Structure 1
Amino acid sequence: MRKIKFISKNLIKKENDILHSSELWLLDNYYLIESEGKGILRGRTILPHRICSTANALLNFTDNVINKEMLDAFFESAFKADSLIESDYAHAKAGFVAVLIHRIHLAYIHDRNAIPTLITSLRHISVTDFDPFRKEYSPIELLFQTEPTGYYVQCDDKTKNGYKRALKKQAKMSKTTEFSLLEQYLNTSKEEYQTNPTSKKAFVGYYLTAPRKGYGYFFVLFSLFILSMVIIVVPLMRTNSAWITILSALFLAIPVFESSKLLVEFAYSLLV
């Protein structure tokens, strides 16, 4: 973004000179480049390398031409090849924007004739809604749609996104992938649906919103720590035995370590 801004300032200074047509394109569309670039910066998200590299490959194949039909074909082929994951679909638009802005800068240096094509593609990307692609080709979305009650497909986007955020947090806490964790929940919900279709546990969302066992485990360990403090540490205040002090410290280290570990993981999961 800074490089593009620097280029535009230099072009403005050349207003009395004759500008190349591609330079005029760059000046006339700088507002678009700036707004799309700032949108990425506001997100403060590290774009997945996978989506950026695939976007580069697509632009190489199409000579920098992008439109909705090409994007649809791109996501369909990526889905069939299983080459993208859930986070790639979430950041696909930002990835394409970042790649196009970078290419515009390179084109200004090496091949200014490519600038109009790149800016036209950036315009298409800026007005294209990527959400339908995610709904149609995202593995997580398609897996959610197989839940037995049929309630998920009736939910609005806000509710669906809430379930996906909960799934992401729980997957991080469980140190597993979102896809495998969702498969586990779906298998459990389908078994429940066969025995009791009206049960809350027959809907996969129940497992994403219900309290998790990991939290209970944390509180049990924390309670053990408090109990240890009362039973062991307090009597130590009346004795000078080094062995008792060492053994007590080792005994306390286990629940303290486990409790701290779970507490840090839980706090981290709330922030991501």
Structure 2
Amino acid sequence: MWKRKIFRPFALSLLALVVLVLATQGPSVAPGAVRDLVSVRWLRLGQELLPASPRVCQKRASDPLADALLGAALWLEPENAQTWLLEGRRAWLAGRCSEAREAWRQALSLNPDHPVAWLSYVLSGRRDMRPAAPLAEGIARYAVSWGDRTKAAERWEEAVEWYDLAFFLAPDVKAAGRLESAYLQLERKGEAIARWEELAAHLPPSDPGHWWALGRAAELSEYWGRAALFYGEGARRSDAPYDYRMRQGAALEQLKDWAGAEAAYR
């Protein structure tokens, strides 16, 4: 009974607010106005999902008014991706992780090119979807920027998370190299090797990066002969073979093949 007494004036106030928005803004503008009110509530509380603790789903905040407003926004316009993005953020901050992911998935079904929905989704759990290439590359650059910041602060575990996201979205030699540097700081060489092998499997043999990835995996494993062979093949296929030849020469030096190393350095 006491819950009903408390909820009734609150519900009436919310209904009055929605009616006011409808009356002043019109039915086509009202959903956006309600979404703006929700966003203002979150900003006032300082509760932003990203980039702080992006993969930690636990109850951090609640705002009954924002919750009610968001429910009104979903009722007014259930086919709006931005509304579902906010619903995912609300669920995530309340510690309802699976609900948040479903809301972000719904946002992406309505707008497959929504960068914030993609970023929220891929950071929130299992990466079973990825955006199209141009958007993936843009989100990867964002992830790299945060990886670089956390690396500069020597927060290596966080750097691995951000660089791992960049590698997932846009796997290439630079992405794998960033991961390697962070993994080695954490003394996780085996994972660095695995990422180079993953990249080699992803790139075709016609791509010089395929051979660089095989060379790095072999070099980190101290298989010097294989490393020299792979770098040599990469140099043969690359328009800019200098780095390949330098790594090939270094591997040959480990084998005490001085003549071969000298030839590679030329």
TM-score grouping bracket, smaller chain normalisation: under 0.3
Task: Between the two structures, name the one with larger relative contact order (CA 8 Å, sep ≥ 6).
Answer: 1
TM-score (normalizing by structure 2)? 0.26
Larger Cα-atom Rg: 1
Structure number with the higher helix fraction is: 1
